[in-house]
Chains A and B, each alone.
Chain A
Amino acid sequence: DTGVSQNPRHKITKRGQNVTFRCDPISEHNRLYWYRQTLGQGPEFLTYFQNEAQLEKSRLLSDRFSAERPKGSFSTLEIQRTEQGDSAMYLCASSLPGNSHEQYFGPGTRLTVT
């Protein structure tokens, strides 16, 4: 399978705990995006990497959120001190350098904070 992969697919955590998600993009894609989707809404942009550089952050990305892409390949999204409002589907997408509009999404990680 050469698509975007995300792990884990589901995560249940207690409020106050830290969680980390991983995204492996399509191998030749140098751009990687994180989105969050809540029930009844479309995906909302969180942040974007070109290779290892984090170039854009949404206002949705509070100080408790941090994303990395250390070698320009896979990326991690960490949420510290989780809150119930963080419960959502976290989606990762990647795109080719010459066609950044067309983003290819992974299956997402569903986070439930209890």
Chain B
Amino acid sequence: DQQVKQNSPSLSVQEGRISILNCDYTNSMFDYFLWYKKYPAEGPTFLISISSIKDKNEDGRFTVFLNKSAKHLSLHIVPSQPGDSAVYFCAASAVGGGADGLTFGKGTHLIIQP
């Protein structure tokens, strides 16, 4: 059973607009959430993270929002740039973190249209 779900396999956004990627989770023990970006033939690259004690974390063009009651998080990219075209993975870590590894969603392929 998927504990981390990314229900949109792909998303197309025009350059300069906002990209919003969504992620849902089912495990209440998750206390840390991360977004990774992956280009073809490369390993995932860490992008941004958020602890469960926060509801927002911002880093430049990237903002992650966490809604614990809904078990939902989202990644906002503003403004979207052509180099943002990649597969984005949502990942989560349980209490005690790290020891069990990260649990990943299936990914969302973001395509930025010129």
Contact = CB atoms under 8 A, between A and B. Distances in A.
Given A35-B101, A56-B100, A100-B98, A42 B106 contact: yes
Contacts of B93: 101
How many interface residues does chain A have, given as a range?
A: 20 to 34
A42 B105 contact: yes
A103 B45 CA distance: 9
A21 interface: no
Name, among B34, B43, B103, the residue most crowded by chain A CB atoms within 10 Å (CB to CB): B43
Interface stretch (A11-19, A43-51, A74-82): A43-51
A106 interface: yes
A51 to B, nearest CB: 13
Contacts, number: 65
Interface in A21-61: 31, 33, 35, 40-46, 48, 55-56, 58
A4 interface: yes
A45 B102 contact: yes
Contacts of B103: 45
A67 interface: no
Interface of B: 4, 32, 34, 36, 41-46, 49, 89, 91, 93, 97-107
User: Would you list the 10 A-B pairs with minimal beta carbon distance, nearest first?
Assistant: A100-B98, A45-B101, A42-B104, A105-B43, A101-B32, A105-B44, A107-B43, A101-B97, A101-B93, A43-B104
Interface of A: 4, 31, 33, 35, 40-46, 48, 55-56, 58, 91, 93, 95, 100-108
